[in-house]
Amino acid sequence: MREYKLNSEHDIQSAVMLRLSELGYAVFRTNVGKVRMPDGRWFNTGLPKGHPDLYAVKSGRIYYIEVKTPTGRVSGEQEHFIATMRDRYGCVAGVVRSVEDAERLVQNGYKA
């Protein structure tokens, strides 16, 4: 397996996407944001609060992946989203802090 130099959440996220793609998963990065409307109101785009950074699909199964650095903090909204997807809907969902964590998540369905 290749060696990864991972200094930021973005670096870890990119390496996870690459490795899971190599393993045959379709991997998608989620994007959200805010736009100020001409009348001054804010419009939230994208996904609900707490939605993980990545999701992957393989063999009809979906995997929700929240990427953090080794010291990164998971928000309450992220914890809630992961627990809901896992406990209510039976999805594999968790927090990963390395490429190896991501491999364990998708291969073993561990709960982070």
Q: What is the pLDDT of residues 33-66, one digit of tens each?
A: 788 999 999 888 788 889 999 999 999 999 999 9
Of the pLDDT bands very low, low, confident and very high (cuts 50, 70, 90), residue 112 is very low
Q: What is the pLDDT of residue 45?
A: 77
Residue 55 corresponds to which tokens in the numbers above? 């999701």
Give the CATH fold of the 9-108 domain.
Trna Endonuclease; Chain: A, domain 1 (3.40.1350)
Confidence band of 4 (pLDDT split at 50, 70, 90): low
Question: CB under 8 Å to 95, separation ≥6 — which residues?
Answer: 66, 67, 68, 74, 78, 82, 101, 112
> What percent of the chain is modeled with pLDDT above 90?
72
Q: What angle do CA 107, 109, 111 make, to 5 degrees?
A: 140
Give the pLDDT score at 110: 64
pLDDT at 34: 81
- Asked whether residue 3 carries a pLDDT value surpassing 60, the answer given is no
pTM score > 0.85 for this model? no
